Amino acid sequence: MGRGRKDGSSAALAGAASAAVAEVEASLAMPPDPEAAAFFDVDNTMMQGASIYHFARGLAARDFFTWRDLSQFAWKQVAFRVKGVEDPAHMQEAKEAALAFVAGHEVDEVVRLGEEIYDDLMAGRIWSGTRALAQQHLDAGQRVWLVTAAPTELASLIAHRLGLTGALGTVSESKDGVYTGRLVGEPLHGPAKAEAIRALADREGLDLTRCAAYSDSANDLPMLSLVGRPVAVNPDHELKRVAREKGWEIRDFRTGRKAARIGLPTAAGMGALAGGVAVGIALRRRSLESPSIADRTVHAARTLRGVTRR
């Protein structure tokens, strides 16, 4: 299982941290099939759209930050999706701004808000088809984990609400119940997800060749390639191409136009912002923007909100 692993890397640290803090309330009793498990990505796989974006909308509605902040975030993410590339500078900027914004907030406060926002904005966006797939694994006596770049607190909440075993998410450092504004490793994105699954498998005695993984994004190829049964769910163009080449299962629960080209942001942009424990999702700016930029950001926010309703 360790082939290609970089133990000293930030991804390995993030994966180990995520596995270490993962709660296992639902699996305290050993399941009938203890060596097999299923791992589900969240955004656009288990849930329509990006969980952290829905969380941000809820925070803005509760005056945690402004709608203008949210529109700035939306514009950045639309630009990211249109370009179709991961911009390291953008990711770093977003992560730093997010971490600075969350520093000093209490963990309990974020968890409490997460519970309210999940019930208000997320519960109705769970893909019934993907939820049914997860239930099949549970019925077979296997454990089911969410694996996401979203904050581990939010990821664990979603898993609990769905009756799943637990969740692996981005870990933000806290001291005496207050966020410090630093990550443990990096956002749980791409290779870090695979590292987290490896660490969890070591801890829980899982046989990865008997495990399954589900995702919509080619960014999760490291995770999908790690298990014996990779499944593309609502796949993006690149993942669909790879899945067909490799003969992987493909499940698509979308209807109508099947995922607008500019869907809710996932992947790198989400991973960077997850480091701020969702609260820092706004890319805060102190200077006034020109009217043209402001108009574009507001339009972007409306575009994203429109996609979430589909």
As a whole number of angstroms, the distance between CA 29 and CA 151 comes to 26
Q: Answer whether 146's CB lies under 8 Å from 155's CB.
A: yes
Size of the chain in residues: 310
What are the distances in angstroms from CA 81 to CA 85, 234, 236?
A: 8, 17, 12
Q: Which of 7, 33, 41, 207 is catalytic?
A: 41
Q: Are 234 and 215 in contact (CB under 8 A)?
A: no
DSSP classification of residue 252 = -
Decide if 29 contacts 207 (C-beta within 8 A).
no
Q: Which among 7, 33, 43, 108 is annotated as catalytic?
A: 43
7 tagged catalytic? no
In angstroms, what is the C-alpha Rg of the chain? 18
Let me know: does 243 contact 236? Beta carbons within 8 Å: no
Pairing of strands 212-215, 37-40: parallel
The first and second tokens of residue 267, run together, are: 């992947």
User: For residue 18, what are the CA distances in angstroms to 154, 166, 260?
Assistant: 13, 11, 32
Chain center to CA of 188: 8
Q: Where do the H-state alpha helices sit in the chain?
A: 10-21, 51-61, 67-83, 88-102, 107-117, 128-139, 152-162, 191-204, 221-224, 237-246, 267-274, 291-308
Active site includes 252?
A: no
* Contacts (Cβ under 8 Å, ≥6 apart) of 106: 177, 178, 179
Active site residues: 41, 43
